[in-house]
Structure 1
Amino acid sequence: MDDLDRLHWLTQLLHGIEVGLVVIDRDYRVQLWNGFMENHSGIGAQQADQANLFSLFPELPDQWLKGKLEAAFLLESRAFTVWEQRPWVFPFSNSRPVTGELAQMHQNMTIQPLKDRNGLVSHAAIVLYDVSVQAQDRQQLSQANDSLARLSHQDTLTGLANRRLWHSLLEREFARCRRYQRDTTLLVLDLDHFKRINDHYGHSVGDAVLRQVGGMLGYQLRKGDVVARYGGEEFVMLLTETPHRNAQELADRLRQQLPTLRFDDAPDLSITGSIGICPYHPSLNSPEHWFELADQALYRAKRAGRDRILLADLPTETPV
């Protein structure tokens, strides 16, 4: 086996591998441009030969890439970049058609300093790896995880926050109120005689009622407020920066709006609700205590005849 055979084989390998390979000199002139670069750029090796890399590709991030190259020339050190840091260096289209494919080829890159026979760095090699498939898989996994995280905090029927998220938001708001003595009011709303609705009209109508009520609450509340489905036919709301008198006015509007809701599969159905209100007060000793007082007010409203609003009885002493 002679050296010419070895050189012939190496040349075939360099031009046939599925990795981009570019060698440049200290003036950024192209000395080697392999088949991968030809295929994905549309620029042939003869056209690229001795051309300035940044003239061939004005789209390149020149200051960033020159910084990487100069580190290789001056410090004789390899440099790396991955697609999570910079999705692509060379603006190549993604040539691997898969479902939901990325428009651009995502790339990892290595820059390798090359020494001449005297041991001096005279050239640098840019090695480009197509990682579009891996990038897409990672992005799809990340999107799936984000969706799962949203679902884990969302009530599937109404789209509101669920009980799990509600508890964490209540704890956060309680801590904020305790620290800054803010006006936040907690409302608990329960639909009256909801079991009768399910028994008489069926669970599909019951679900439609919950969806419409959830939509109404989400629409009526401000962006900074919190509304959640606590469970069954019970909804909870945190009205931030809202004294209890203003909260009572909103609660009364909600109570009056409930009977105006209409349902396609039950045109004769009219619903009402009872609401318990508890403003934040320094006498509250925990988020659970806050919710418990609002819930007690709600059940006093239901025992008093339903379709009404009652304010919680607050303790008179501030906890130590």
Structure 2
Amino acid sequence: MDAFALKQSITNELINAIDVGVVVLDSDFCVEVWNQFMENHASIKPADIVGQSLFSHFPEIDEGWLRQKSVPIFNLRSPVFIIWEQRQYLFKFGANRPVTCGAHHMYQNVTMFPIIGDNGEVSRFCIMVYDVTDQALSKLGMSRLNDELKVASRIDGLTGLFNRRYWQERFEQAYKLAKRREKPSTALMLDIDHFKKVNDTYGHQAGDSVIQSLAHLIKRCVRETDLAGRYGGEEFAVILTDSAVDNAVTVAERLRRLAEHSQVEHEGQIIKFNISVGLAEFSPLCDSPMEWLERADQALYQAKQTGRNKYCVWQEQ
């Protein structure tokens, strides 16, 4: 074996031994080199693809995109990098991971670089394919976990509505928006009448079931653009955006009637409950978000003092 043949043999062995995909394409995107990694994952032998167009074997590759992507290789002799965050894969290979990994395909980082001939021209280029599935899944898993933690930090675990802390943050934003806009918004404060009696008679788990039932009714009555949250215990707060108090009382009365006709079953017992509601339309005279909410709370107190199972609207004294 002469020196050139020996060198070529060693090169081929190295190309096939590395755990990276190696593909060499000519300027027409016909395959010249197809290493063992590519054979294993594509189930295509070199003899079946060398000399043929890459696109005829991989129709999922956008030909126009890849040709445009390779322009700097030929014109500028510059390498091109494609990371999985931009495009999850170039070649659609199986994940080659345990069933429990959750990936349906191999995530890939790809490097494409020019091969300069003896004449100084670039007539072919090399594609190197790196399997980064583990890294991608780890990053995606962390991202999903962060999203779940973010949701958990905002949502009340019992009712599925916003918790008080996050509701308060959003409420302050709603207050600032109401001050800038001319459209009205109305705050509602509501709670369950004689809730202590429910807990004392049926137990705290039954009380939780009643709270959940009311939260479900609130979800039915408000829009996605409204802001509803559990303010504390059996008390709830709602901001009806772009709703004057004349329209908001319709929502309040509907909530009151739904609650009045609801039945909560707990351990074979039927529990009925009523609610009281206080409403206050936003006024530019409110110097703070809490002053606006305090008006709704004062209206709620009036509803409690004048018989319960009703709504009251805050009136300027």
Give the TM bin, normalised by the shorter chain. over 0.9
Deviation at 1:251, TM superposition (A): 1.1
Report the AA paired with residue 289 of structure 1. E
The CA distance in 1 between the partners of 2:27 and 2:270, in whole Å, is: 83
**Map of 1:294 onto structure 2:** 296
Give the deviation of 1:98 after TM superposition. Answer: 4.2
Shift of 1:6: 5.3
SS at match of 1:230: strand
Verify the 8 A CA contact 2:280 2:295 in the aligned structure 1.
yes
The CA distance in 2 between the partners of 1:106 and 1:63, in whole Å, is 21
User: CA offsets, 1:237-257, max 9 Å, x none?
Assistant: 111222112212221222222
1:126-275 map, 5 Å: 126-265=127-266, 267-275=269-277
Q: Distance in 2 between matches of 1:290 and 1:77?
A: 62
- C-alpha deviations, 1:17-54, integer Å up to 9, x for none? 21110011222221111011111112111122111222
Deviations 1:89-132 (A, max 9, x none): 11212222241422121111000111122333232100011112
**TM-fit CA distance, 1:87:** 0.8
Gaps of 5+ in 1: 316-320
TM-score, normalised by the number of residues in structure 1: 0.92
Structure-2-length-normalised TM-score: 0.93
Give the AA of the match of 1:274. Answer: S
Secondary structure in 1 matching 2:207: helix
Q: 1:300, 1:135 → 2: CA distance? A: 58
Moved more, 151-160 or 170-179: 170-179
Mapped partners of 1:55, 1:98: distance in 2: 30
In the alignment, the residues of structure 2 paired with residue 28 and residue 183 of structure 1 have an alpha-carbon distance, to the nearest angstrom, of 63
Q: What percent identity do the matched residue pairs reach? A: 39
- Asked if the contact 2:265/2:271 (under 8 Å) is kept, the reply is no
1:71-103 per-residue CA deviation (whole Å, 9 max, x = no partner) reads 101110000010110111112122222414221
Which amino acid in 1 is paired with 2:131? D
Q: What is the letter of the counterpart of residue 306 of structure 1?
A: R
Contact residue 186 and residue 279 of structure 2 kept, 8 A: yes
Partners of 1:176 and 1:182 within 8 A in 2: no
What is the rounded CA distance, in whole Å, between the counterparts of 2:254 and 2:62 in structure 1? 57
Instruction: Compare 105-114 and 6-15 and name the one that shifted more.
Output: 6-15
Q: Partners of 1:253 and 1:11 in 2: how far apart?
A: 77
TM-fit CA distance, 1:313? 3.4
Which letter maps to 2:60?
E
Aligned with 1:305 (options 286, 304, 307)? 307
Distance 1:100 1:220, change over 3 A: farther
Name the structure 1 match of 2:115. Answer: 114
Moved over 4 A (4+): 2-7
